[in-house]
Structures are given as C-alpha cells and as structure tokens.
Structure 1
Amino acid sequence: MRPSTEPQPRIPGIALPPEPLIRFENVSKNWGTNHVLKSLNFDVAPGEKVSIIGPSGSGKTTILRILMTLETPSEGKVIVDGDTLWDVTRGQKVRETRQLRETRKKIGMVFQQFNLFPHMTAMENIIEAPIHVLGMGKAEARERAAELLNLVGLGKHMNHTPPQLSGGQQQRVAIARALAMRPKVLLFDEPTSALDPELIGEVLNVIRNLAHTTDMTMLMVTHEMRFAEEISDRVVMFDNGAAVESGPPAQIFKNPQQERTRSFLRAVLQH
C-alpha cells in the first residue's frame, strides 16, 4: 500500500522526513498498445543520488523525458519541488502552461548525445540558455560559465568549438551547460554511452565529483554498474515499465531480492 500523501502532524523534537523533490503518482506512458510505463509510483528525496538500471526498453529513459517535458504521460501526476509538472487524467489533453515552464526550469539534463551547437564555442554554448531563458546578464553568464568550465576541467578550452573537442570534452561542456541553469534536479541519460571507452573515465570523474561534493538531487540512467554502486544513495531496477526492486547499492548489487534483478546483473556484470 502506498503511504498517505496527507501532511503528517508535527511532533515536537522529532524531525519529519523531507517531502520528495520528485514524485510520480500512478504514471503511465503508452504508445498504442506498447505500455512503456505502468502506473509508476516513484519518489526521489531532496539531495538524493538515484541510479536507474535495467534492460533496454524497460522505461528508464522515458522517466527522464517526462521530467524534461519531452514526453507527456498518458496518465498520472508528476510533482517537482512541490509544483505540479504533469496532471493527466484519461483522455485529457495537456496544454503548455506558465507553471509547467517555470517548473521545467528547475530540471537540467545531460543527454546521451552532446547536443551542442557546433558553430558556437564552449563558452557560447553554456551562456545561451541562462541569457535567453533565465534573463541573466551577459557578464554574469560568462562569469558563471568560466567557473563551470574550470569545474569540469575545461577552463583552457572555453573558446574551442565542439569539432575541436573530443567526445569526452564535449560531454563535459554539456554537463557545465546543464549546471549553468542552476537546476535543483540534474538528470543523466546514459551520459557515457556515446563515448569511446578511453574517454568514459573523464566524464564519470566529473559526475562523481558532483555526487560527492554537492547536495544537488541527481537521477541517472546508466549501464555503468560499478559506477552506480559507488555514487548512488539508492539504485532502482526497472523492467517492463515497472520498478522491480529498489534499495541501497549494497543490497541491489550484493544481495538482490528479486530474481529479475539477479538475472540482469549476472548478464551485465559478466562482460
């Protein structure tokens, strides 16, 4: 039974658990007869680092795309930081609203493909959205971009365009671009899948640093099992549009409770 969402009475001297920063309530996503998500109930606490694992086609990336408003749920409700991002009943059409746009600003995403503007420098790629979406002044945006490029180890490459950068460097620019919007939630959709093996480590190091040194809420879809085990507060196993198992990394990777989790890990960890 799902816990009640009614406010809990405050008991003096006892701290209540924080409200989830992300909440999916009975969220489904269908493409015709293909049920990608099936009445999903899923919470992420403020500051929590959550990795989502599972086979291809299990609905992992769809969760991120719904949060980014790139996909519309077929049914259900999605709440981010106390504001409703989606509230869909059967047959209801969803319209773009100011609240949806404002809530969307709280979320940043790093995609599989880097999606950088090839004709712009690394600096220009990073300042574009803060200036035009947040209304940030150009001088402030450039100062923030320089700080972020240094953070991801690319301070000397701010005037390079994407074709002048390696794949790992481009993905690090993409991470800096997402951080420039000062999101409360940072999403990663298999951020190393498009990289050559020798470049994966440099991107994982940046993500590892963010996970260990910031209180940002992070939700990552990944096939890097050992990395997920290292940086996550919680790991969620998805299969066939549903969360099969959820728990601390030590439980999921060392003592999974579900046979589907065990069979998946046997398959991916033997390679």
Structure 2
Amino acid sequence: MTQDIIRFDRVTKKFGELTVLDALDFSVAKGEKVTIIGPSGSGKSTVLRILMTLETIDDGVIHVAGKPLWHEERDGRLVPAGEDHLRAMRKEMGMVFQQFNLFPHMTVRRNITEAPVHVLGLDKEQANRRAEEYLELVGLSDQADKFPSQLSGGQQQRVAIARALAMRPNIMLFDEPTSALDPELVGEVLNVIQRLSNEHDLTMLLVTHEMQFAKQISDRVCFFDKGRIVEQGPPEQVFSTPREARTQEFLKGFLSPEPH
C-alpha cells in the first residue's frame, strides 16, 4: 500500500463565523498528482496555505511525511508545534503562488539561491549550480542575470517554480499558478509543470481553474465545496461522468463546448 505523504484528519478551519474547512479528511499518496477544483471560497487555497503554515488550523491533525505538521509529540501526546518544528516541516514543501512573489531588487539567480544558502546552508557555488540546473529545467538559462521587472509574467512564474524546486522539496504545491497571467502566457507555465510531473517523482498538489490541464496532469481530481470533498476520482471520471449533482453543475460552465 502506498504511504500517504499528506493526511488531513478531521481538519477544521474558520475565519470568524465562516467555516472554510469542515472536518476535512483528505490524503495524498507519495508521488501522486492531485488537483483540487471547486468554486471560490470552497477551501481549495486554504488547504495549501495551511500546509505551508501560512494559516493555522482550529481542529484536527495534519500529517506530512509521517510527522504531525501543526503539532509535535511531547511525553506521548500531541501539543501545538513550536517554531523550530514548523521550520523543519516547511522544508518538505515548495509552493508556487498566484502572484510570483519574487524579490524585485534581486537578480533571477539570487532569487533562486537565497533560500538554499540561508535556509539549507549551501555554499554559493553549490547554490549557483542548483540555480543553473533548475533554470535550465524551466527554460530560462539565459535570464539568470536579469531582474524580475525585465521578465514577462510567464517567465517570472517559471522563475518562481525554479526557486521552489531549488529547496529540493518532496511536495510541490501550486496555488492557481496561471491565474495572474495573460492568456497567451498560460501555456508556457503549464508546460513546465507538465514536464516536472513527467520527469520528476514529486508529489504535486494543484489548485487550478485550468480544467483541461487538470485532466491531463492529475492522477486524481477532488471537487471541493463548502470546505468538504464532494466528489473525487480519476480525471476521466470526474470530468466526463461526474456522479454528484453539485459537481455536474460546477463543471457545466467549464467543459461545455461553448466559448466562455
């Protein structure tokens, strides 16, 4: 049986009165490519932000790579995690956001080498070699000495992917990585993610509105609504013959042949 690298056990997250995740049970196997789809406010991005420790949880337990994420064991019981534990757990994951979040005052190369040097303790030469490796992977070897403002949005997002990969995470999280891009630049970013998926044994968790892409890249698609998984399964099943009325209604707009 494949081991789950991510597991949510009855995880609840509230923002004030609003329940964003409602006793969520959700797991991802090692090496699995899972896409989360659903309407705005269904809890999709919150799942990723909680995994990156950008949002806390109100109830439940999350395990990442066999260890509790928001808790640590002390005297045989789980207590809220301290900063050292959270810092160690973050190294398991790399995240690519909607906005590229590059440091504008640093070159592309330095954007990628900064964390490996300061967080992982690599020397400059090792970090530079790693930056070159991942810039080649995302097709930007010739852009290393430019600043983010000199790049297109698609190129900036590809640098952001290289930056996340340079930390050698076991899990890559993508939060609507194409939603801030002009339509003609979307393809180049999706191609890089597709290549990553084909060539590297990474666990990938994606939130996207690009349904055709989700269909191609995913081992499993999960449809979220109101903080719960309404339906999940192989992409062919979820997109072609969704079982739940709520899924059918949501996908109608995306998968109809009409232009929208």
In structure 2, the residue matched to 1:3 is: none
C-alpha deviation, 1:149, in angstroms: 0.4
Residues in 1 aligned to 2:142 and 2:220: alpha-carbon distance in whole angstroms: 36
In structure 2, the residue matched to 1:221 is: 207
| Secondary structure class of the residue paired with 1:201 | helix
C-alpha deviation, 1:96, in angstroms: 2.9
Change (3 A) 1:83 1:93: closer
Does residue 1:109 correspond to 2:98, yes or no?
no
* 8 Å CA contact retained: 2:70, 2:81: no
C-alpha deviation, 1:97, in angstroms: 3.3
* 8 Å CA contact retained: 1:189, 1:222: yes
**RMSD in angstroms over aligned alpha carbons?**
1.3
C-alpha deviation, 1:269, in angstroms: 2.6
In structure 2, the residue matched to 1:177 is: 163
Deviations 1:75-108 (A, max 9, x none): 11010001110249xxx99453322211111100
In structure 2, the residue matched to 1:68 is: 52
* 8 Å CA contact retained: 2:37, 2:221: yes
* 8 Å CA contact retained: 1:76, 1:86: no
Query: Structure 1 stretch 39-48 or stretch 93-102: which is displaced more?
Result: 93-102
| Secondary structure class of the residue paired with 2:70 | strand
Query: Structure 1 stretch 214-223 or stretch 98-107: which is displaced more?
Result: 98-107
List alignment gaps of at least 5 residues for structure 1: 1-16
Residue from 193, 198, 212 that aligns with 2:198: 212
List alignment gaps of at least 5 residues for structure 2: 73-77
| Secondary structure class of the residue paired with 2:22 | strand
Residue type at the aligned position of 1:99: H
Residue type at the aligned position of 1:81: A
Deviations 1:119-138 (A, max 9, x none): 11100000000000111111
Deviations 1:137-163 (A, max 9, x none): 110000000110011000000001000
| Secondary structure class of the residue paired with 1:21 | strand
C-alpha deviation, 1:31, in angstroms: 1.2
Aligned length in residues? 252
* 8 Å CA contact retained: 1:28, 1:38: yes
* 8 Å CA contact retained: 1:76, 1:87: no
Residues in 2 aligned to 1:132 and 1:217: alpha-carbon distance in whole angstroms: 25
C-alpha deviation, 1:19, in angstroms: 1.7
Residue from 138, 146, 149 that aligns with 2:124: 138
Deviations 1:144-189 (A, max 9, x none): 0011001100000000100000000000000000000000000000
* 8 Å CA contact retained: 1:52, 1:220: yes
In structure 1, the residue matched to 2:154 is: 168
Deviations 1:38-92 (A, max 9, x none): 000000000000000000100000000000000000111010001110249xxx9
Percent same amino acid at aligned positions? 60
In structure 2, the residue matched to 1:83 is: 67
Residues in 2 aligned to 1:57 and 1:26: alpha-carbon distance in whole angstroms: 19
* 8 Å CA contact retained: 1:28, 1:74: yes
Residue from 32, 42, 48 that aligns with 1:58: 42
| Secondary structure class of the residue paired with 1:77 | strand
Residues in 1 aligned to 2:139 and 2:214: alpha-carbon distance in whole angstroms: 22
* 8 Å CA contact retained: 1:84, 1:100: no
In structure 1, the residue matched to 2:27 is: 43
* 8 Å CA contact retained: 2:71, 2:79: no
Which TM-score applies when normalising by structure 2? 0.94
